[in-house]
Chain A
Amino acid sequence: MKLTLKIWRQKNAQDKGGIVDYPIDGIEPDMSFLEMLDVLNEQLINKGEEPVAFDHDCREGICGMCSLFINGEAHGPDRGVTTCQLHMRMFKDGDTIFIEPFRAKAFPVIKDLVVDRSSFDRIQHAGGFISVNTSGNTIDANTIPINKHDADKSFDAAACIGCGACVATCKNSSAMLFVAAKVSQYALLPQGKIEAVDRVLNMVHQMDHEGFGNCTNTGACEVECPKGISLENIARMNREYLSASLQG
């Protein structure tokens, strides 16, 4: 395949950055998108140029590290996949492909296509946990009976890998789907109910503090989420928040 890549290049966080064109040839349809970028980087290194910086780790769709906004969509045109699971067969020979970093005030660009998603970590630190005594008296979670329906929904919410595609794709750069998934996975379980009020208040407060936009229920986040996190979680978080606001 012969392609024209339009890639965002930015030396560092202070640099203004801009789109740079890279023609590339000899790309196999069965390559993953990241392998295609590896090929480009090899060519750039051989020419003595700076390779394109991009995030990646497991390359199995599990870690959530690979980001990239490809042709106007988070993780590209495929559905239910991360960028490492996106294959070049989704494109046609001769295509022009825009490759940009995830854009949000709360996800500042570090270099090229690499963004700082530590705002998600800070939201997690604000309440995305349960307090358990682990000093030898830990109670086996399986001894607590949990409704199968709730356990399944909690597990579905816990499938969120925190990749940030929801923020990247939302026209408002809202992080509601991510935060809702983290709130929901605990809200549905008995272990999570003890700290439920503080959790939702603190996590939403941190989310707002980080500068994410407001959710307007377009549903784009759910469509682009590689793990299929449902909007139902946002509704649940809204209920949790309203209830917590009255209590807290």
Chain B
Amino acid sequence: MAQSALLNASILKKVAMALSGIFLITFLALHVSLNFISIISVNVFNEASHFMGYNPLIQYVMQPVLAIGVIFHFVMGFVLTAQNSAARPIAYAKYNGAANASWSSRNMIISGLVILAFLGLHFYDFWFPEVTYKYIAGTAPDATRYYTELVHKFQSPVRTGLYCVSFILLGFHLWHGFSSSLQSVGMNNKYSRFLSKIGYGFAVVVPALFVIIALFHHFNQHN
């Protein structure tokens, strides 16, 4: 078989999508763990954030890898959605998708688009100011600023609300994405049911923690 045919194969694309998803799931676990520290200890959160912000391995290796993973996942999501739409040029007059598949599995593109929009806001809030601080303004490192910046961002009820809605859609995305990624890489055996339950737990707990963190800082503005 031609190499190009192999690279374009639907199964390899879905496996690549699944692997990038699993990578992003591990990143989410790390992200929520670090954020959760902010409601436990101000000092530890500042130290952890400073480490993440100035460690060369994280900044120059992990961060670009993460960016590639995110971009790949979104681009592949759009490509697959376009291909899938083309596979049914004439739609059904009546289609009862809810009869045989969950909302989250049928609407990954919608939850994905909300997450993409959220990433734009999140970058505007945190990543761009960070880049400006460090590389454009060239301000000296300050290991005590992170908690104050975080609390300040959650002052606005609108922004806090947008974050919470996005986290709920992230939960829907993970609800299908976690178990789907295992199926895509060929894992469907006696452990699958247990792992799917872990996935459902992850899809509830991680977004819920993000919501709790956002609400906590919104209602604790005294710092």
Contacts of B197 in A (CB 8 A): none
Q: Please report which residues of chain B, range 147-175, place their CB below 8 angstroms from some CB of chain A when the two chains form the complex.
A: none
State in angstroms the CA–CA spacing of A208 and B13 once bound together: 12
- Are the CB atoms of B15 and A238 closer together than 8 Å? yes
**Contact of A105 with B86 at beta-carbon distance under 8 Å, contacts A100-B92, A235-B183 already known:** yes
- Are the CB atoms of A73 and B99 closer together than 8 Å? yes
- Identify the closest chain A residue to B79 (Cβ): A214
The answer to the question of B214 belonging to the interface, with a C-beta cut-off of 8 Å to chain A, is no
Question: Chain A 158-174, CB within 8 Å of chain B: the 1/0 string?
Answer: 00000000000101111
- Identify the closest chain A residue to B1 (Cβ): A201
State in angstroms the CA–CA spacing of A159 and B94 once bound together: 29
Q: Could you tell me how many residues of chain B have their Cβ less than 8 Å away from some Cβ of chain A?
A: 42
Contacts of A3 in B (CB 8 A): none
**Contact of A216 with B187 at beta-carbon distance under 8 Å, contacts A72-B94, A73-B100, A211-B87 already known:** no
- Are the CB atoms of A71 and B96 closer together than 8 Å? yes
- Are the CB atoms of A213 and B99 closer together than 8 Å? no
Query: Among B26-34, B64-72, B101-109, B127-135, which stretch is in contact with chain A?
Result: B101-109
Q: Please report which residues of chain A, range 223-246, place their CB below 8 angstroms from some CB of chain B when the two chains form the complex.
A: 223-224, 231-232, 234-239, 241-242, 245
The answer to the question of A248 belonging to the interface, with a C-beta cut-off of 8 Å to chain B, is yes
Contacts of A215 in B (CB 8 A): 10, 14, 184
Out of B10, B92, B93, B179, name the residue touching A208 (CB < 8 Å): B10
State in angstroms the CA–CA spacing of A237 and B9 once bound together: 13
The answer to the question of A212 belonging to the interface, with a C-beta cut-off of 8 Å to chain B, is yes
Contacts of B11 in A (CB 8 A): 204, 237-238, 241-242
Contacts of B14 in A (CB 8 A): 214-216, 238
State in angstroms the CA–CA spacing of A248 and B181 once bound together: 24
- Are the CB atoms of B101 and A223 closer together than 8 Å? yes
State in angstroms the CA–CA spacing of A205 and B117 once bound together: 35
Contacts of A237 in B (CB 8 A): 11
5 closest Cβ pairs, A-B complex: A72-B96, A235-B188, A213-B87, A239-B186, A172-B84
Binding site for A on B (CB under 8 A): 1, 5-6, 8-15, 80, 83-84, 86-97, 99-102, 105-106, 108, 176, 179-180, 183-188
Q: Could you pull out 30 A-B pairs where Cβ atoms are within 8 angstroms?
A: A73-B100, A77-B99, A98-B93, A100-B92, A100-B94, A103-B91, A104-B87, A106-B87, A172-B87, A176-B10, A202-B1, A213-B83, A213-B86, A214-B80, A215-B10, A216-B84, A218-B100, A218-B101, A218-B106, A219-B101, A219-B105, A234-B188, A235-B187, A236-B188, A237-B11, A238-B185, A241-B9, A241-B11, A241-B12, A242-B185
